[in-house]
Amino acid sequence: MKSLFGSLVYCLFLFVSDVYGTYRLNGFDPQQVTAQSYAQRRNIARPPLRTLAPSATDNSCRSRPLDLVFIIDSSRSVRPGEFEKVKIFLADMVDTLDVGPEATRVAVVNYASTVKIEFLLKAHLNKPNMKQAITRIEPLAAGTMTGLAIKSAMTEAFTEESGARPKSKNIAKVAIIVTDGRPQDQVEEVSAAARGSGIEIYAVGVDRADMTSLRLMASNPLEDHVFYVETYGVIEKLTSKFRETLCEIKAVVVVEDPCKCEARLAFQMQTQAALQEITARLADMTGRVEQIENILGPV
């Protein structure tokens, strides 16, 4: 009986070792899984954010095609007139960009308590149709589920089925989040997963926006990815700043995180699920061994 039990334990040990070895082989060290969360929180202590002054909107840029998704807050705190200002900002951004099938594609994700994808990257590939679609967007009211909105953008808007270009084309994936409140759900892990998947996140705070949450959502360096405006009345003035940021003439380079921190955090949920499965199998195997021992009795 002891020999049987020992064999089962040995087989389980080999199984666990194989799973652990697979994670290590792919660069995922359990001791470093939460490194990105720490790195992002550490940056909260950075110097104050710049408050942007109004400036003129420049002409279209043609140097850097993007897969660009706007994630806009339309919760109860955003008044109807303020939401119209957000739509003007989106239309101004569209005017700034070189929109087209082989240039920049744009999608809009609208959120409050629920999330609504207003249109996908593949839906409108010219400026007139896109701006017309923007005018039809209506606020959703109620809560502020920012984390859910980011997850929906990552899993639905940034997919090839929705019009995103494949990684082989090396097209930058950019999300611009606009909010005036505090998220009512968790944003840290889902934002890290989005960044780990290759999405560059800009966070725009307006008026009462929670700056800590903005920093947890945005890509590094934070001083280049977190912006603040005092009112929705001047939000459209950010257009020229984003043109400078998104359209500067340069090669599109995928920046690798040296420690692979974001990739580890994005993979964390999968590893946790696998470990839970291992634990369940171990419990099941232990129960079966005990049943066999009870049937066979002492040897």
Q: What percentage of the chain reaches a pLDDT higher than 90?
A: 55
Q: Judge if 233 and 129 occupy the same domain.
A: yes
| Per-residue confidence (pLDDT) for residue 110, from 0 to 100 | 98
Q: Judge if 266 and 190 occupy the same domain.
A: no
d(C-alpha 49, C-alpha 165), whole Å:
33
pTM > 0.95: yes or no: no
The answer as to whether 49 is a domain residue is: no
How many domains does one find in the chain?
2
Domain limits for position 278: 2-28+260-296
| Per-residue confidence (pLDDT) for residue 287, from 0 to 100 | 75
Least confident stretch, 2-16, 109-123, 135-149 = 2-16
The answer as to whether 44 is a domain residue is: no
- Confidence check: pLDDT of 243 > 90: no
Q: Judge if 286 and 222 occupy the same domain.
A: no
Q: From the centroid of its chain, how far is CA 267?
A: 14
d(C-alpha 40, C-alpha 12), whole Å:
37
d(C-alpha 30, C-alpha 264), whole Å:
8
Q: Judge if 137 and 283 occupy the same domain.
A: no
Q: pLDDT per residue over 246-298, tens digit each? A: 765 443 344 444 455 555 555 666 666 666 777 777 777 777 777 777 777 66
| Per-residue confidence (pLDDT) for residue 245, from 0 to 100 | 81
Question: Which has more confidence, 25 or 242?
Answer: 242
Q: pLDDT per residue over 167-210, tens digit each? A: 999 999 999 999 998 999 999 999 999 999 999 999 999 999 99
Q: Judge if 286 and 200 occupy the same domain.
A: no
pLDDT band at residue 58, thresholds of 50, 70 and 90? very low
The answer as to whether 71 is a domain residue is: yes
- Confidence check: pLDDT of 23 > 50: no
Residue bearing tokens 């195997």: 285
**Residue 290, SS3?**
helix
Q: Judge if 99 and 217 occupy the same domain.
A: yes
Q: Judge if 240 and 264 occupy the same domain.
A: no
CB 183 within 8 A of CB 208: no
